[in-house]
Amino acid sequence: MIGSKVTIIMATYNRAHFIVETLQSIQKQTFSNWECLIIDDGGSDNTSEVITPILAEDSRFTFLKRPDTYQKGLPGCRNYGLDLAKGDFVIFFDDDDIVHPQNLELCTNELQKPEISFCRYEREVFTGEFNYDFDYSKEYSSFLIDVNDLEKLLNNKLPFNSCAVMWKKECFTNNRFVEHLMYAEEWELYSRILSSGIRGISIKKCLFYGRKHLKSNTGEFFTHNPVRRKSHCDAVALVVKNLKEKQLVTNSLIGYFVTISLDYKEYDLFSQISKILNLPLVQKIKWQIYYSSYFLRLPIYKMKKKIKK
């Protein structure tokens, strides 16, 4: 794909204090044939004002407001971006992070291979001021990824962070983010894409740096924000449904999702999973015993922990 173009899709919401540094890191890319769609989700700060100088000097950036035809939230903004994308490749960047200068160059090089549909890379997190001492080496190891690695994606042994994968645009021809999901939306979508049988590559090089702070979606999830928790529960149900439809359910995956459901008793996730899978009676009883015994063991575990203290 000589002359390939990359579409960067960036949803933003009240990040005027971070977004300029992010956009500047995009401007410093060693690969120059890109467009960046900055999609405002209805923020109330001065984001538009602070990025005006960058928009004026670099026509590759476009600032847009999410139309009401797309649901408010990150998935709706990204779907809007996908519908506008003109690039051969698509990548999602957040509005508070830093991009390695070689990100687009190295990913597009890998995606020139016809059998490769996505390029995954490593991501690191940082707090406070960012250290711009980048490693510019182009030597790295890599490995192929296909549907046989789906379980590793789902159980996070092979994390697919939203900003750490570049995709060929055709991966989204029949796939979009589920717009009511406010957490784990990329986990659900990316697992759906991988389950379709495409192949990709993972390169062992850090090309993205995520800013760690409590106001991020992930930060809110780990502080038990109910909206994020409910979204994770809904995403699990959608993933299980997709696995069932594509006949990709395994006992180890069932065990993994049942374990997750232990943390979502208030949403009765275990019952949802059992209903979707329509398990044989023997299997259903087995997992019901496992699920119920956990809550019987829990008070004893807590008591032992208290005694040790």
Q: What is residue 296's predicted lDDT score, i.e. its pLDDT?
A: 59
Structure-block tokens of residue 119: 């390029």
Query: 253 is written with which tokens?
Result: 């995956």
pLDDT given for residue 206 in this prediction: 97
The label of the residue with tokens 């409910």 reads 230
Write 125-129 long-range contacts (CB < 8 A, 24+).
Answer: 125/209, 125/210, 125/211, 125/212, 126/98, 126/209, 126/210, 126/211, 126/212, 127/211, 127/212, 127/213
Q: How confident is the model at residue 212 (pLDDT cuts 50, 70, 90)?
A: confident
Helix (H) or strand (E) run with residue 80 in it:
helix 74-84
Helix axes 19-27, 47-57, angle to 10 degrees: 20
Distance CA 44, CA 13 (A): 8
Q: Is the pLDDT confidence value at 303 over 50? A: no
- Band (279; pLDDT cuts 50, 70, 90): confident
Q: Which helix (H) or strand (E) holds 62?
A: strand 61-65
Model pLDDT, residue 297 = 53
Say what the pLDDT of residue 215 is: 62
Instruction: Output the pLDDT for position 265.
Output: 86
- In tens, the pLDDT along 158-201 reads 999 999 999 999 999 999 999 999 999 999 999 999 999 999 99
Mean pLDDT (whole number) for 274-302: 75
Read off the pLDDT of residues 7-62 as tens digits, 9 standing for 90 and up.
999 999 999 999 999 999 999 999 999 999 999 999 999 999 999 999 999 999 99
Model confidence over 258-276: pLDDT tens digits?
999 988 988 999 999 999 9
Please state, rounded to an integer, the average pLDDT across all residues of the chain.
91
pTM higher than 0.95: no
For 159, half-sphere exposure in the C-beta direction (CA atoms, 13 angstrom radius) is 10
Q: Is the pLDDT of residue 247 over 50?
A: yes
Structural tokens at position 117? 């549909």
CB atoms within 10 A of CB 221: 17
Instruction: State how far the Cα of 8 lies from the Cα of 164, in Å rounded to an integer.
Output: 12
> DSSP assignment, residue 171?
G
Is residue 99 within 8 A of residue 207, CB to CB? The reply is yes
